[in-house]
Amino acid sequence: MTTSQPMDRTRTMRTLLSPLRRRLVQITSGILVTVPVVLWSMFLTFGLLRHGYGLLTSAASSLGAKGTPHAEAFNIAFFYTGGILTALAGTGLAILHHRSFRWLLGSIFMIVAGVLLFLTGVFPTAGAGHFDAHMHGLVSQWCFVLASVAPLLLVLDSKHLFHQPGLQRILKIVAVSSLVIEVLQIAIAHIIRYPYGYFQRSFMASLSIALLILGIWLKRHYTAVHHPQPLAITDS
């Protein structure tokens, strides 16, 4: 076998994988943009339908509390759908950029956060039994923790990825903001009482911006390359 044969096989595999890779890019970038749209639209829709619900102060989980109007529909639209989409987005990111440990870990955290978001709807809070209420608090807290760390792990490799300094700068800011918001929430939760909705809305806004930026970058980066190849992302 000549040395040119392995090289020919490599070129053939890249040629075959390129259309599949472009398709995966389109799907993953689309999901990243869709996640915040779904979460915000479902939250606002059901929040406006619920009489007396505070869009800024009330916890989102109270819209899915057992025995309340449209609770099951909200859980399906917000927690189940949002969780599945988040896990799929993390899976796509892990497949597309698997050479960096930090990027891979951030993608895995996003996958697990999506699973935990799904489980948050499985275990409703108010109106449920003690076990369901305990599990709801446990899985939702870990969902916030992992979701706050994932963007920061991803942005650590942004210098290898981004050719748009503006997007890179914004992603760094919102990634750090998400983590700071979560740390502050944990730190003051047992010290002072405050409307939990304030924390959720600010965290959700910060995370939504991060997902939108990742989706926009993914689409721009790969559509600008005629023959996309796996990025050589290495830990610095």
- With a CB cutoff of 8 Å and minimum separation 6, the contacts of 15 are none
- Give the Cα separation of 87 and 85 in Å (integer): 5
Burial of 63 (0-12, 13-18, 19+ CB in 10 A): buried
- Give the Cα separation of 113 and 90 in Å (integer): 9
pLDDT of residue 154: 85
- pLDDT 10s digits, 59-78: 898 898 888 889 999 999 99
For residues 101 and 235, is the Cβ–Cβ distance under 8 A?
Answer: yes
For residues 73 and 112, is the Cβ–Cβ distance under 8 A?
Answer: no
pLDDT of residue 233: 44
For residues 234 and 95, is the Cβ–Cβ distance under 8 A?
Answer: no
Query: In whole numbers, what is the pLDDT of the chain averaged over residues?
Result: 81
pLDDT of residue 25: 87
- Give the Cα separation of 7 and 102 in Å (integer): 30
- Give the Cα separation of 101 and 108 in Å (integer): 10
pLDDT of residue 27: 93
pLDDT of residue 136: 79
pLDDT of residue 130: 73
Greatest alpha-carbon pair distance for the chain in Å reads 76
pLDDT of residue 228: 44
Burial of 236 (0-12, 13-18, 19+ CB in 10 A): exposed
Cα–Cα nearest to 132, from 192, 87, 67: 67
- Give the Cα separation of 81 and 46 in Å (integer): 15
| Residue ranges, the chain, pLDDT below 50 | 1, 6-16, 225-236
Amino acid in position 8: D
pLDDT of residue 175: 86
- Give the Cα separation of 28 and 102 in Å (integer): 19
Written as six digits, the tokens of 70 are 């449209």
- pLDDT 10s digits, 127-150: 556 777 778 788 988 999 999 999
- Give the Cα separation of 56 and 52 in Å (integer): 12
